[in-house]
Each structure stands twice: as C-alpha cells, then as structure tokens.
Amino acid sequence: MINLGIIGYGNWGPKLVRNFMAVDLCTVKKVADQRKERLSLISSHYPAIESVQLNDDILNDPGIDAVVISTPIYTHYEIARKALGQGKHVLLEKPMTSNTDQALKLIELAGEKQKVLMVDHTLLYAGAVQKIKELIDGGETGKLNYFDSTRMNLGLFQPDINVLWDLAAHDISVLNFLINEKPYSVHSTGKCHTGNGVENIGYMTINYQSGLIAHFNCSWISPVKRRVILIGGDKKMIFFNDLEPAEKIRVYDCGYKYALNDKKYDIKVDYRTGDVYIPKISHKEALSTMAADFVNAIMKGTTPVSNHISGLEVMRILEASDNSMKNCGREVVLNHL
C-alpha cells in the first residue's frame, strides 16, 4: 500500500484527492494547505484524511511514501527537494519547476535516492491523445507538416508565470509525445495588459529540421473558451476539440498535390477531399490513468508516460520561448539532452 501526501488543495487539489483515493493499493493519508477554509473542505469531504497547514507535517512523516505537489510553480523546487531528501517519491504539477537548472537538480537527486520523479501532464493520458498517437504511429496521417494549437479562455490569470507557461505547456507536452523528432528552434511574442510584466496573451512557433512547424495561440483574455489542435499530414488531417463531450477527434481524408513549372510563381495544385470519420476513443478520466501510472511506477518500477525527462523537455521549450519573447521574437535554437 502506498501512503500519499498531497500538498496544495486549490483548484486541482480536490481532483487529485478523488482520483488517487480510487487507485488500488494507494491511499491519501494527509493533505496540506495553508488556508484554513480549504482544510475545512478536506475534513468535510474526506474525514479519514488528516488535514494539516504545514508542508513539513507531510514531508517529515516517515509513514508517507510519496508526495504530490500542487502548489504555485515557484514553490515546486524547494518542496520537491525536501521530499526527495526525505526519501519520498514525487509527482509535480506542470510545469515542473521555475527553470531547467532546478529541474536538473531534482532529476539528479531522484536518481541518487532511487525515487520516482514524475510531472503531471494529464493530457497525455486522455483517450483522444492516445488515439491520435496511434493514428500517427500507424502511418494514417503520413508525413506531418504542421501542428496548430489554440488554447484560450477568460482567466485564470497566474501571478508567477506567463500564459505560455500556463496554457501552452499542455499542448507542448502533447506535441513532444506525438512527434519522434526533437524541435530545432523556437520564436515567441506576447503582451502584458495588466501592468505586472506577466504576458496574458502569447504566440509561439516551434520549428523542426524536417520541415514540420508547430504553432501555439494562447490567451487569458478571450471572451470564448477554446481548446483545439489541428494536425496536418500529407495523407490525412486530424482535428481535436478537447471541449467536445463525445466526438473529440475528427479525421479528414483530404490533402493536395502540387507541381512546379519552369515559370516563376507558376504552381499547379490538385486538391483531394474525401470522407470524414470519428474514431472511437476511451472516455476514462485522464487524471485517474495518470494517478495509476504514478503508483505503478513506484510499485513496479515502470517508466511513467509523463516522466521527468518529458517534463524537462517541455521546460526547455518554455525557457527558449521566454528568451525569444524578451528579444522581440528572435529565433532561439534549442539545446537538448
């Protein structure tokens, strides 16, 4: 039995508690939050779980095997470092830490302590994303040409990270999961409209040496909520709408062929439009699959889908994005492990 402690009971905390409580051979022993009103909610909904105000009540408890950290990103490194130092497995909410230097130190410490260090990129466990990977790996789409993501809503403004760190992180993790190629470079632009220097609207482009291009459009100031990804291959194209309750994926059997003539600008294009079909996908809650993956990694030594290396790669892209944004959209070439 894995005894779990969860630090942070904000918007995501209740979902984490519910899903981990449902995992076999796992129980949530303690939940920590500094706010008394949040602790009251824990006690009313889960009287068997001990609610505490101090993180150390979890970190120093020898009866707790693993810690889930769901707090503001700037706190992740210190809490995770203490947890690993106490010999506990760690699951971090995304993004992993405030910078890659911190992430690398945690990875090194987890290796020394032989503990699981995992990042919760929940979307990787969604049935729709798993199906898209199956289609791409099976050659259904052919060679990929583009990945276009739009993720926007009105709020929730974050105080310590910009909109790309908050929203694009989801779809960057999906992109890395689907594409068996390391990105070459990044360029980004964004604007802050709140006077605190934190960009609330942002645009990022990721380039690949194969010619694949990925674009991300993120906003906290949109009057409509959108979470869509369009993936274009030279055989078929996939449209993923995460807000669609049932038919999340549509596969379009369409494309084009072109021929260049000797004359400049003379190009002939033939378009092909075929059927549209909706694949059957699993509708199991992604967070429950993520929770089970963490527990299995601890108990069976398996490698999680959303492991620390995938979390680190997302952060490398986000840091390059910040660098580009501060330099008026200048292209930044990526360095990988």
Confidence of residue 320 (pLDDT cuts 50, 70, 90): very high
Beta pairing class for 249-260 and 221-233: unpaired
Does pLDDT of 265 surpass 80? no
Beta pairing class for 26-32 and 2-7: parallel
Q: What is the pLDDT of residue 260?
A: 78
Q: What is the pLDDT of residue 270?
A: 83
Q: Label residue 118 left, alpha or beta by phi (over 0 means left) and psi (-120 to 50 means alpha).
A: beta
Q: What number does CATH give the domain 124-284+316-333?
A: 3.30.360.10
Confidence of residue 264 (pLDDT cuts 50, 70, 90): low
Q: What is the pLDDT of residue 188?
A: 98
Whether the domain at 2-115 and the domain at 124-284+316-333 fall into the same CATH topology: no
Query: Cβ–Cβ contacts within 10 Å for residue 197, how many?
Result: 7
CB-count burial class (<10 Å; 0-12, 13-18, 19+) for 337? exposed
Segments of 192-313 assigned E as strands = 201-207, 213-219, 221-233, 237-241, 249-260, 267-277
Distances from the Cα of 185 to the Cα of 67, 103, 209, 272, angstroms: 35, 21, 9, 32
Instruction: Kindly indicate whether the domain formed by 2-115 is annotated with CATH number 3.40.50.620.
Output: no
From 218, 208, 202, select the one nearest 146 (Cα to Cα). 208
Each residue's pLDDT tens digit, 156-210: 898 889 999 999 999 999 999 999 999 999 999 999 999 999 999 999 999 999 9
The domain ranges of the chain are 2-115, 124-284+316-333
* Mean of pLDDT over the chain: 95
pTM listed for this prediction: 0.94
Question: Would you mind telling me the total number of residues written for the chain in this entry?
Answer: 337
Does pLDDT of 222 surpass 90? yes
Percent of the chain at pLDDT above 70?
99
Does pLDDT of 336 surpass 80? no
| Phi/psi of residue 93, nearest 5 degrees | -70, 160
Q: What is the pLDDT of residue 337?
A: 52
Each residue's pLDDT tens digit, 270-281: 888 889 999 999
Each residue's pLDDT tens digit, 50-109: 999 999 999 999 999 999 999 999 999 999 999 999 999 999 999 999 999 999 999 999
